[in-house]
Amino acid sequence: MVVTSATYMEEQPMLSVRNLNKRYGQGCKHCETPEMLPVNSNRCSHCGSVWACIDVGMDLYKGEIIGIVGESGSGKSSLVKSLYFDEEIASGTATISDYKGGEADIFSVSAQQKRYIRNYLMGMVYQNPWMGLKMSFSSGGNIAEKLIAAGTYHVGNIRDRASELLNHVEIPISRMDELPENFSGGMQQRVQISKALANNPPVLLLDEVTTGLDLSVQARVLDLIRKIQREFGVGMIVVSHDLGVIRMLADRTMVMRYGRVVEQGLTDQILEDPGHAYTQQLVHSLL
């Protein structure tokens, strides 16, 4: 039983990831399975293939925020991108409990069902807004894309919903028909968040959303994420290399290194009393 500080925790996790493995490269006889690699590396010295995620497991409960921290190349982004089908996994399961009245392993469903999961059950906010937004379409249009994909073919309804979402992320409605490339970095991230929330998904994946933003904008985006979590009860996986962000947002934290989860637990516990040597190093390396 995983302990969580989320007050509205339910017993059944919304998303349960087990033994997730992700490899970049063809692999060779020396790295057929990640167990064949040394503990202090995730790169095969023979063929250069990289196991970005090795045997990763976690449970996400309703309304909970899980933070994933680690250095660059530790597999944080690969994990969330795999969960959003941007990357193909080598093996593993991720069971979502809110799937058409039952539960399903998201990696074993058909391509069309994966599309359903992407549109209805998950939202993704990328580090780089260019990955999450279509810059040649208006910000309202970007939200419309998600709504249309979910079957809304009424322009009036689409615009009402887009206005509501943009209002929520504090973007003036008057700028709804402007291209996101005219927006600042913080505003682009907020448009991305509103796009990700368009169909009220129960799970939101955030990949380094505050990286590259100045401190005041960072604070606004973090406040917004907290507000969304409170109001919508969305379960979130937040990837960041910034322990400050994790401290502010996450109920539980997972520390990754060389594609492996080295430690996970309550955020306060991880940051105040780190057990693993790497976590201790990470916590003490704060400027």
Partner 1 sequence: MSIQLEREYNYAFLDEGSKKEIRRSTLKAVAIPGYQVPFASREMPIGRGWGTGGLQLTLSLIGDEDSLKVIDQGHDDSVNAVSIKRLVESCSNVTTTDDSEHATVIQTRHRVPEIPLRDDQILVLQVPLPEPLRRTEAKEKVTKRLHAEMDYSSIWLRLYEDIVKWKKITIGADYPSMVHHRYIINPSPIPRYDVPKLHQAEGLYLFGAGREKKIYAIPPYTDVEPLEFLDYSFEVENFEHFTCHLCGCTDSFLDEIYDAKTGEKIYQCSDTGYCNTRQREREAL
Minimum gap (Å) between residue 106 Cβ and partner 1: 15
Q: How far apart are CA 270 and CA 142, in angstroms?
A: 38
- Which segment (6-14, 145-153, 254-262, 269-277) binds partner 1 by CB under 8 A? 145-153
State which of residues 2, 90, 149, 219 lies at the interface with partner 1 (CB under 8 A): 149
Binding residues for partner 1 restricted to 177-196, rule: CB under 8 A: 177
Query: Binding mask 103-122 vs partner 1 (x if CB under 8 A, - otherwise)?
Result: --------xx--x-------
How many CB atoms lie under 10 A from the CB of residue 60?
27
Tokens 């409960």 belong to 61
Q: How far apart are CA 160 and CA 61, in angstroms?
A: 30
State which of residues 156, 215, 285, 287 lies at the interface with partner 1 (CB under 8 A): 156
Minimum gap (Å) between residue 136 Cβ and partner 1: 8
- Is 123 a residue that touches partner 1 (CB under 8 A)? no
Task: Count interface residues toward partner 1 (CB under 8 A).
Answer: 19
- Is 39 a residue that touches partner 1 (CB under 8 A)? no
- Is 86 a residue that touches partner 1 (CB under 8 A)? no
Nearer to partner 1 by C-beta: 118 or 252?
118
- Which segment (19-27, 155-163, 222-230, 245-253) binds partner 1 by CB under 8 A? 155-163
- Is 155 a residue that touches partner 1 (CB under 8 A)? yes
- Which segment (91-99, 136-144, 244-252, 274-282) binds partner 1 by CB under 8 A? 136-144
- Is 174 a residue that touches partner 1 (CB under 8 A)? no
State which of residues 55, 71, 145, 268 lies at the interface with partner 1 (CB under 8 A): 145
DSSP one-letter string for the chain: ------TT--SS-SEEEEEEEEEES---TTSSSGGGS-TT--B-TTT--EEEEEEEEEEE-TT-EEEEEE-TTSSHHHHHHHHTTSS--SEEEEEEEEETTEEEETTSS-HHHHHHIIIIIEEEE-SSHHHHS-TTS-HHHHHHHHHHHTT---HHHHHHHHHHHHHHTT--GGGTTS-GGGS-HHHHHHHHHHHHTTT--SEEEEESTTTTS-HHHHHHHHHHHHHHHHHH--EEEEE-S-HHHHHHH-SEEEEEETTEEEEEEEHHHHHHS--SHHHHHHHHT--
State which of residues 148, 219, 266, 283 lies at the interface with partner 1 (CB under 8 A): 148
Nearer to partner 1 by C-beta: 170 or 178?
178
Q: What residue ranges bind partner 1 (CB under 8 A)? A: 111-112, 115, 134, 137-138, 140-141, 144-146, 148-149, 153-156, 158, 177
